[in-house]
Amino acid sequence: MSEPASTGALAASPASEALAKTRFDLRPLALMAVIALAAWPAVGSSSTWLTLTIAGLAMGMIIFIAASGLTLVFGLMDVLNFGHSLFIALGAYIATSVFTSLGDWATAASVARNLAAIAVAMIAAMLLAGSIGLVFERVIVRPVYGQHLKQILVTIGGAIIGEELIKVVWGPAQIPLPPPEALRGSVMIGDASVEKLRLVSVVIGMVVLLLLLYILNRTKIGLLIRAGVQDREMVESLGYRIRRLFVGVFAAGSALAGLGGCLWGMNQQIVVPQIGGQVNVLLFIVIIIGGLGSTLGCLFGALLVGLMSNYVGFLAPKLTMFSSIGLMVAVLLWRPQGLYPVTSR
Amino acid sequence: MSATLLELKGVHTHIGAYHILHGVDFEVPAGEVTMLLGRNGAGKTTTLRTIMGLWAASQGSVVFDGRQIGGPQGDGDAAASQLRTPEIAAQGIAYVPENMGIFSDLSVAENMLLAAKKARTLAQLDSARLEWLFGLFPALKKFWLHPAGKLSGGQKQMLAIARAIVEPRRLLLIDEPSKGLAPAIVQNLIAALRELKRTATTVLLVEQNFQMAKALGDRVAVMDDGRVVHRGPMAELAADESMQHRLLGLSLGAHQ
């Protein structure tokens, strides 16, 4: 046997772990840059372009937050959850209730109080969406493990029931969800006006992204999730209960959808019971573009869809939905497995 | 012969509508390497998967160290004593599947970390044992922080085996490690497994490569059509060419 060298340094060198990431594929990022640059001359004015780009990125980050759980749930257990949008609607509605009950916190012209109100709304949305996600998993998803057709039917059914329950609790009429006082209006960057709320959304999205990336890349539970997406049988053979892992991911994904819904509602400034259905199509477009099961793909897919929707929404509003689907078709023609295919699936 | 660590008694396994195992009987003695041989489709992989609980035995029992881990208790009873795969793994049984089950998006180190139940971070991996594993499989050290998907077929196989023994295990199930590997790589693998054998690790090894079987096996069970048709010392089978011919249908020339 060949002689072994010292391992001490080796086992304790997480810093050089960056090596493992050298294979990072930059082409999807380039695609994003190409789309952004191509939109510039089409939009005409650079200040408008900047406004649209930041709005697009904000929308992308919100979609990413909402969709990240969906892609992991599919990747881990092959579960197609068409009820995911229910948690988005829940998040938005909970935000309306929190803002109403906190009253002056959201309306006072104090940045600290406003931010606190948002924080409370976000936490409440996550907690409630996460707990209802647990119930949803147990009652609706678990009986149909491994049966795609039934999953689609049953989860859509669950979403419809959820939407009706929302109407029971919050009423069928639309509820305004004005952003807190200090976050209304815009700031000027150069001569481009950028809504404050969009900036806050981008920041919150970044925080969630970094947290997710940290968990998925640097903790054992995250490694297990990634391993489970690739080969759940092997994860079980190593002695881990993938069901338990899956339930945790499902609840966390529902909580993130709740958070996404909270932000989405604030950005729309109005909440309707059909909010879930509106977002659902986007969610699936995003995770298909990204590559089912891939978190990074989900991020880029969401940003691409966000940018595309905003540019096209400005240039030719009627084509907005088409642009997202067209983008999906184009990406799938380029990479049939999505931008970042999960290997060995 | 030493004490029996694993025993299969009349194990039947169905996969969907297909009846694959028709009453498999054999033992794996502790501290020895037992070869499971047989033609393609004889049921070797299904046997390993049944032991691991990835498919449930519909009849018979799988007993590990005196405890039933697979198969229904008695007749007709629901699968009361069929443990789930993670529980079976927790008994100290490690499995290297035919496709190696490497997590290709994770680094070599992360693959190893996931198999180590006691370590939460890379720094907590038992460094003396890692040293020993690097001695067995030097490529792992070289590519420690590289994505496992970038390894060659032989290196992936080495990683799969090293991962299975990152902590001491009581029983190692390995499914056709030589499959698709160049002869020189197979020699490396044999050398590493011989070294592992010296530690008196109990191994149940499925192989098509008779040379490898001869080099490593203490005992042998030969399967055909979902049953074990021959059990005995490996040396006996290795010495008897007509028996090889009859049981495995192989001429030595065709199998190196």
> What DSSP line would sit under B144-195, residue for residue?
TTSBGGGS-HHHHHHHHHHHHTSS--SEEEEE-TTTT--HHHHHHHHHHHHH
State how far residue B47 is from chain A, nearest Cα, in angstroms. Answer: 15
Average pLDDT over residues B168-174: 95
User: Which residues face B64 on adjacent strands?
Assistant: B6, B67
Rounded Cα gap, residues A164 and A274, in angstroms: 10
State how far residue B251 is from chain A, nearest Cα, in angstroms. Answer: 33
User: Which backbone phi and psi does A338 adopt, to 5 degrees?
Assistant: 95, 175
End-to-end Cα, chain A, rounded Å: 36
Q: Are strands B18-29 and B4-15 parallel, antiparallel or unpaired?
A: antiparallel
State how far residue A243 is from chain B, nearest Cα, in angstroms. Answer: 11
Tell me whether residues A239 and B89 touch, CB distance under 8 A.
yes
State how far residue B153 is from chain A, nearest Cα, in angstroms. Answer: 14
- Out of A230, A238, A242, name the one closest to residue B105 (CB): A230
Using pLDDT thresholds of 50, 70 and 90, give the confidence band for residue B142.
very high
- Residue-level pLDDT at A27: 86
User: Which residues face B36 on adjacent strands?
Assistant: B206, B221
pLDDT at residue A345 is higher than 60: no
Rounded Cα gap, residues B111 and B159, in angstroms: 8
- Residue-level pLDDT at B141: 93
- ipTM for this model: 0.91
B101 touches chain A (CB under 8 A): yes
Cα A106 to chain center, whole Å? Answer: 25
Ranges of beta strands (E only) in A131-191 are: 175-176, 186-189
Using pLDDT thresholds of 50, 70 and 90, give the confidence band for residue B73.
low
Nearest in space to B90 (alpha carbons), one of A237, A187, A334, A70: A237
Q: Which residue of B has its CA nearest to A6?
A: B131
Classify residue B212 by burial, with Cβ atoms within 10 Å: 0-12, 13-18, 19+. buried
Cβ(B1)–Cβ(B173) under 8 Å? no
pLDDT at residue A13 is higher than 70: no
Chain A with chain B: Cβ pairs closer than 8 A: 107
pLDDT at residue A103 is higher than 80: no
Tell me whether residues B52 and A3 touch, CB distance under 8 A.
no
Q: What residues contact B19, with CB distance under 8 A and at least 6 apart?
A: B12, B13, B226
pLDDT at residue A17 is higher than 50: no
A-interface mutation test, from B69, B110, B124, B175, most A Cβ less than 10 A away:
B110
- Residue-level pLDDT at B74: 54
Q: Which residue of A has its CA nearest to B87?
A: A239
- Out of B97, B103, B127, name the one closest to residue A227 (CB): B103
3-class secondary-structure state, position B104: coil
3-class secondary-structure state, position B143: coil
Interface of B with A in 39-68 (CB under 8 A): 52, 54
Tell me whether residues B106 and A226 touch, CB distance under 8 A.
yes
Triad A201, A203, A207: Cα angle to 5°: 115
The pTM of this model reads 0.83
- Residue-level pLDDT at A280: 87
- Residue-level pLDDT at B48: 97
3-class secondary-structure state, position B64: strand
Residues of A in contact with B114 (CB under 8 A): 220, 223-224, 227, 235, 238, 240
Average pLDDT over residues B28-41: 93
- Out of A1, A237, A240, name the one closest to residue B195 (CB): A1
Rounded Cα gap, residues A339 and B167, in angstroms: 37
Nearest in space to B145 (alpha carbons), one of A213, A22, A238, A234: A22
Tell me whether residues B123 and A2 touch, CB distance under 8 A.
no
3-class secondary-structure state, position B68: strand
Tell me whether residues A234 and B135 touch, CB distance under 8 A.
no
Average pLDDT over residues A107-127: 87
- Give the DSSP H or E segment for B203: strand B202-206
Tell me whether residues B135 and A239 touch, CB distance under 8 A.
no
Helix axis angle for B153-164 and B183-197, nearest 10°, is 10
Position with higher pLDDT, A103 vs A303: A303
Tell me whether residues B85 and A223 touch, CB distance under 8 A.
no
Tell me whether residues B131 and A7 touch, CB distance under 8 A.
yes
Q: What residues contact A303, with CB distance under 8 A and at least 6 apart?
A: A32, A56, A57, A60, A61, A64
Interface of B with A in 189-208 (CB under 8 A): 191, 195
Rg over alpha carbons for chain B, rounded to the nearest Å, is 18
